Amino acid sequence: MLKQTPSQTVGPYFHMGIPRSAENVLTNGYTRGERICITGRVFDGEGKPIHDALVEIWQADAGGHFDHPADPDRSQADPHFRGFGRSDTLDGGRFSFRTIKPGPLPGPDGQMQAPHIDVRLFSRGMLIHAVTRLYFAGEAANATDTVLNSVDAARRPTLIAVPEKSSDLPTYCFDIHLQGNNETVFFEP
């Protein structure tokens, strides 16, 4: 009789595989658009910070274009903007990105989407990554964004990054809760 391999979580060495370069800086001196900082923390279901997660973001440039073959307006994309970044979580589950505020872009239905950043989360114990979106507080276009408005109104705040005081760039805070009362809304990968 064959024996089954016992189930195990990913790790405990997940953090060792996380890159340590400046992959959380998506701009350079020539990047067009309003420079911002995104900060946040990743929490588990008990509200404890996760110290060894990886947060990835990908986003449009300030004009709403991607430097990607699937974007029909790729030729208009800012060549000085990376559009993709990674940040590991360390002290207190904190992550950060230095990027630009993305422009609005057309959705699959042709309607304009509110400026947003796509977020993917990897962590020990998760065999499948979690996918969500970050929207910006105070954006008028949030009221008509098809994806945001498909989410139950009581849960939409989990997708909204809020401004926070900073002596540096304009900064938005976006905490990610994997479970619990403040669980972030996640989408199918």
Q: What is the mean pLDDT of the chain?
A: 89
Assess if residue 182 is contained within a domain: no
What pLDDT is attached to residue 189?
79
Phi, then psi, of 108 in degrees rounded to 5: -60, -25
What pLDDT is attached to residue 32?
97
What pLDDT is attached to residue 7?
43
Assess if residue 187 is contained within a domain: no
Q: How far apart (Å, rounded) are the C-alpha atoms in residues 27 and 29?
A: 7
Would you call 51 exposed, middle or buried from its count of C-beta atoms within 10 A (0-12, 13-18, 19+)? Answer: middle
Assess if residue 172 is contained within a domain: yes
Would you call 50 exposed, middle or buried from its count of C-beta atoms within 10 A (0-12, 13-18, 19+)? Answer: buried
Assess if residue 7 is contained within a domain: no
**How many domains is the chain built from?**
1
Assess if residue 61 is contained within a domain: yes
Residue 153 Cα distances to 18, 40, 140, 149, angstroms: 35, 22, 16, 7
Assess if residue 6 is contained within a domain: no
Asked if residue 78 has pLDDT above 80, the reply is: yes
What pLDDT is attached to residue 3?
54
Asked if residue 5 has pLDDT above 80, the reply is: no
Assess if residue 121 is contained within a domain: yes
Assess if residue 142 is contained within a domain: yes
Give the pLDDT mean for 103-108.
88
Tens of pLDDT, residue by residue over 153-171, are: 999 999 999 999 999 999 9
What pLDDT is attached to residue 2?
56
What pLDDT is attached to residue 13?
46
The pLDDT confidence band at residue 71, using thresholds 50, 70 and 90, is: confident
What pLDDT is attached to residue 81?
97
Write out the two tokens for 87: 């940040």
Q: How far apart (Å, rounded) are the C-alpha atoms in residues 169 and 107?
A: 29
The domain in which residue 86 lies consists of 14-177
Share of the chain above pLDDT 70, in %: 88
What is the domain-level CATH number for residue 131?
2.60.130.10
Give the pLDDT mean for 78-88.
95
If you compute the radius of gyration of the chain from its CA atoms, what whole number of angstroms results? Answer: 17
